[in-house]
């Protein structure tokens, strides 16, 4: 059905649409985003049904650059909040010899933002698990 207009969601969809010249808007569905600071140049965490992005303001053009991105299927466990950081354990590239994993950090002084973002990531991970058929080969 129809939902009332949300400036927050419109901003998130616009972020996704302009990311990498629209590449991700063709494959991903916007889920949530969170500014990681109070000023307009603060980084933004952007969550879709397939990726978690850390975006930073482009110095020259005013758009947003991808500082890093993680495919949700490469996240090994529910993120944890540690200090002023959301810690995401990520599967390493299989071409590397070590399979110990890697971490990505979303840094924010506001603990409420980190906890909110953690819950959003957890929810999209669970939603993706429900939609994916279970493999008996593992």
- β-pairing, 30-35 vs 102-107, is unpaired
Across 6-21, average pLDDT: 93
CA distance 35 to 44: 4
Contact 77, 130 (CB under 8 A): no
Average pLDDT over residues 46-58: 95
Domains of the chain plus CATH, in order, are 7-131 (2.30.29.30)
Instruction: Output the six-digit token pair for 117.
Output: 């973002």
Question: What span, in angstroms and rounded, lies between the C-alpha atoms of 35 and 132?
Answer: 30
pLDDT per residue over 65-74, tens digit each?
Answer: 999 999 999 9
Average pLDDT over every residue of 103-120: 97
């Amino acid at each position: 059905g129809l939902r009332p207009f949300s400036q927050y969601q419109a901003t998130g969809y616009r972020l996704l649409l302009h990311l990498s010249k629209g590449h991700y808007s063709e494959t991903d569905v916007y889920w949530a985003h969170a500014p990681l600071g109070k000023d307009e140049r603060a980084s933004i965490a952007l969550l879709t049904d397939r990726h978690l992005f850390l975006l930073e303001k482009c110095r020259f053009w005013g758009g947003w650059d991808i500082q890093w991105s993680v495919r949700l299927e490469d996240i090994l466990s529910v993120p944890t909040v540690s200090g002023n950081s959301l810690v995401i354990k990520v599967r390493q590239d299989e071409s590397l010899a070590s399979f110990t994993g890697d971490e990505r950090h979303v840094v924010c002084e506001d603990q409420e933002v980190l906890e909110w973002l953690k819950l959003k990531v957890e929810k999209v991970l669970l939603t993706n698990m429900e939609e994916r058929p279970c493999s008996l080969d593992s």
